[in-house]
Structure 1
Amino acid sequence: MEFTHLGRTGLTVSRLCLGTMNFGPHTEESDAHLIMDSAHDRGINFFDTANAYGRDSEGNLKGRTEEIIGRWFAQGGGRRERTVLATKAYAPMGDWPNEGRLSALAVRRAVEGSLRRLNTDHIDLLQMHHIDRDTPWEEIWQAMEVLVAQGKVIYVGSSNFAGWHVAQAQEAARARHFLGLVSEQSLYNLIDRTVELEVIPALQHYGLGLLPWGPLRSGLLGGVLRKEREGLAVRSVSGHAGQILEANRERIQAYEDLADELGLDPAVLGLAWLLGRPAVTAPIVGPRTLAHLDTAEAALDVELDQKTLDRLDELFPGHKPAPEDYAW
């Protein structure tokens, strides 16, 4: 396993982050425990979850994924000590006021709930799952400072922030002599490259690590067309993902053809591309099975040459930093 620092911190994390959103809804608890054990065996020490993960088909059972992880930690054997644990707060966990978003009260309640479900006394990386436009940064940072002082949270990160939100957060933290954000979790893959305009430049300026979620765009970059032809079940081709597939079918076919030329699984190609992008600390891979984890690990051994990178840019054009992307 390869390791790196998370942003400008001294925290050492694996170059793959184990995403756990499938644990509960799509992966049974026993299989989830096997996947987490296997991740440790491979050297993956960075796990990502969220308080809202684990909903069933009717939107119930929020928090189930954290509970699955908590019961895995309870088995001992150094499981918690060997894990850099990231979770998130923002999503409403109930119908009563202050059960979601980022007020000082809501953040405190979210952290206490996550600690209980995760069966731990601290969260290594607490991430704000979304920007809260109704809560001032002074209130947010005061709440985070208290949690850090109490030892309940070590680092703070963001998720789904725009570039100017990152700048707002960091300047407010600087005024308080607080470390502020250390990472941002954004949608980033060959199909979705909007973060290259302003988010990535902001992260580079402030020294934040980038944790791409959706690195294979719901499986669309994981060989979806080949699986269709082979009659394999593909969970990702319904709803919004299905619309994206139809809008990009020719490009995705060309992408799969390129992967075949290179002798690579399409998923390996997509992850290898991300691992070489500026500011990327660790793509968040969300395996439903151990085989998915095998595929993700294989990407660490692939270094793409410039010719391949140019061909990928032709298929999925990216962005220069703003404003040069759209102005002189």
Structure 2
Amino acid sequence: MTFPLVQLGTSDLHVTPICLGTMTFGEQVNETDAHAILDHSLARGVNFIDTAEMYSVPPKAETCGHTETILGNWFAKNPSARQKLVLATKVAGPSRGMPWIRDSQGLSAQDILTSCEGSLRRLQTDVIDLYQIHWPERHVPAFGAVYYDPEKESSKTNIHAQLDALATLVKAGKVRHIGLSNETPYGVHEFVRLAEQHGLPRVVSVQNPYCLINRTYENGLDETCHRLNVALLAYSPLGFGLLTGKYDDCGLLGEGAPKDGRMTKYETMRKQRWGRPESLAAARRYNALALENGMTPPQMALAFCYTKWQVTSTIIGVTSLAQLDADLDAWGTTLSPELLAAIDAIRWDLRDPAQ
């Protein structure tokens, strides 16, 4: 199977429409197995990998930076691999209960510069192809929060100052292009407006959740990105495993629950948006629809992302070679107009429970 290459926004980066996410490396996946997954992904033609300074997940002090270190060790063993890949990583936003990332609550210009140096060192590379702000420095509804509350605003570093710091990295040749993650329409517009006004690097992508149980990207951010030519990197296409069907009969806990499932294994994950009862109920509806149409649940869920005009590349996270092959083999699956209408009918009924 050969994957086409797609342009990442306004950049000169051309990536496969499937990106290998790595946040499980260093927690659910040990280094040996992670390297095997990286080898196989590259052999199958995926040229795009994504990581972050705070990985692995669930985040904790003792594993912060482990994923980048695992990737760096793989690059050291496979020098030619680095030249074949588009490498993306992220600088963490304000603490969000993770004081081990940095002392400050904000995301200062110096934080960005220092974090980039740490990522370059761990990744054992001279340049990061796509450097993203993992979540906004501003107080915004994200990671399950629904409403914007101006009284909770605690911003200390404005967007212009963040862009100036990112420009320093681009000018130094340490970063090729910049992107955002977990952003809002306002944030994307403001980053682009200030970049164009002041001659600073323009964001080329935004990495936001997008899947059957969370389509909030389509509530306005899709128009923003389309008109500004900012690419969507869709994460959690399988809804943290809910859209695989493995929790349909047993729930997230109890008899029959998959012991290796992220939602079963980690209580912190069950407390997030993906662990809501409404999220599992919606996933069960979509999974049943897939089976009724002769597909496996993950095949339909992935095909939904793979075929949507809004998505430039879909980020898949795996813990085994078998999962990797299954996710890649779903490429090329088409969804009929009737099936897409049935998907939309479920969304109209249940909306976006995992937003």
TM-score (normalised: structure 2): 0.83
- 1:147 maps onto 2:169 in alignment: yes
Q: CA deviation at 1:56?
A: 7.0
Match of 2:146 in 1: none
Task: Give the secondary-structure state (helix, strand or coil) at the position aligned to 2:90.
Answer: strand
Task: Give the secondary-structure state (helix, strand or coil) at the position aligned to 2:46.
Answer: coil
In structure 2, how many angstroms separate the alpha carbons of the residues matched to 1:204 and 1:172? 18
Question: Residue 205 of structure 2 contacts residue 233 of structure 2 at CA under 8 Å; is this kept in 1?
Answer: yes
Identity of aligned residues (%): 34
- 1:311 maps onto 2:311 in alignment: no
CA deviation string 1:137-182 (max 9, x = no partner): 2211211111111100000000011001111111000011234100
Match of 1:28 in 2: 30
Bigger Cα displacement from structure 2, 283-292 vs 150-159: 283-292
In structure 1, how many angstroms separate the alpha carbons of the residues matched to 2:349 and 2:172? 43
> What is the correspondence of 1:173-212 to structure 2 with a 5 Å cutoff?
173-212=195-234
Q: CA deviation at 1:245?
A: 5.5
Q: CA deviation at 1:313?
A: 0.8
In structure 2, how many angstroms separate the alpha carbons of the residues matched to 1:243 and 1:110? 29
CA deviation string 1:43-64 (max 9, x = no partner): 1010000000026775423100
Question: Residue 128 of structure 1 contacts residue 159 of structure 1 at CA under 8 Å; is this kept in 2?
Answer: yes
In structure 2, how many angstroms separate the alpha carbons of the residues matched to 1:169 and 1:22? 30
Match of 1:284 in 2: 315
- C-alpha distance 149-96 of structure 1, shift in aligned 2 (>3 A): closer
Task: Give the secondary-structure state (helix, strand or coil) at the position aligned to 2:243.
Answer: coil
In structure 2, how many angstroms separate the alpha carbons of the residues matched to 1:248 and 1:143? 38
In structure 1, how many angstroms separate the alpha carbons of the residues matched to 2:78 and 2:335? 39
CA deviation string 1:118-147 (max 9, x = no partner): 000010000001111321222112111111
> What is the correspondence of 1:113-128 to structure 2 with a 5 Å cutoff?
113-128=118-133
CA deviation string 1:238-268 (max 9, x = no partner): 5236974632455433322222233222111
Task: Give the secondary-structure state (helix, strand or coil) at the position aligned to 1:282.
Answer: strand
In structure 1, how many angstroms separate the alpha carbons of the residues matched to 2:69 and 2:18? 22
Match of 2:299 in 1: 268
Task: Give the secondary-structure state (helix, strand or coil) at the position aligned to 1:218.
Answer: helix
CA deviation string 1:6-42 (max 9, x = no partner): 1232311011010000000100100000000111011
- 1:236 maps onto 2:238 in alignment: no
- 1:156 maps onto 2:178 in alignment: yes
Letter in 2 for 1:132: E
In structure 1, how many angstroms separate the alpha carbons of the residues matched to 2:337 and 2:35? 39
CA deviation string 1:201-254 (max 9, x = no partner): 111111011011111111011113457499343332552369746324554333
Question: Residue 239 of structure 2 contacts residue 274 of structure 2 at CA under 8 Å; is this kept in 1?
Answer: no
Unmatched segments (≥5 aa) in structure 1: 321-328
In structure 2, how many angstroms separate the alpha carbons of the residues matched to 1:268 and 1:76? 32
Match of 2:324 in 1: 293
In structure 2, how many angstroms separate the alpha carbons of the residues matched to 1:243 and 1:212? 16
In structure 2, how many angstroms separate the alpha carbons of the residues matched to 1:218 and 1:261? 22
- C-alpha distance 207-260 of structure 1, shift in aligned 2 (>3 A): same
Letter in 1 for 2:297: P
TM-score (normalised: structure 1): 0.90
- 1:130 maps onto 2:132 in alignment: no
Question: Residue 212 of structure 2 contacts residue 286 of structure 2 at CA under 8 Å; is this kept in 1?
Answer: no
In structure 2, how many angstroms separate the alpha carbons of the residues matched to 1:227 and 1:28? 29
Q: CA deviation at 1:103?
A: 1.5
CA deviation string 1:96-116 (max 9, x = no partner): 645x74321111100000000
- C-alpha distance 295-115 of structure 1, shift in aligned 2 (>3 A): same
Match of 1:86 in 2: 88
- C-alpha distance 200-253 of structure 1, shift in aligned 2 (>3 A): same
Q: CA deviation at 1:318?
A: 9.3
Task: Give the secondary-structure state (helix, strand or coil) at the position aligned to 1:27.
Answer: coil
Q: CA deviation at 1:4?
A: 0.9
Letter in 1 for 2:23: M
Unmatched segments (≥5 aa) in structure 2: 139-155
Task: Give the secondary-structure state (helix, strand or coil) at the position aligned to 2:10.
Answer: coil
- C-alpha distance 110-242 of structure 1, shift in aligned 2 (>3 A): closer
Q: RMSD of the alignment, in Å? A: 2.4
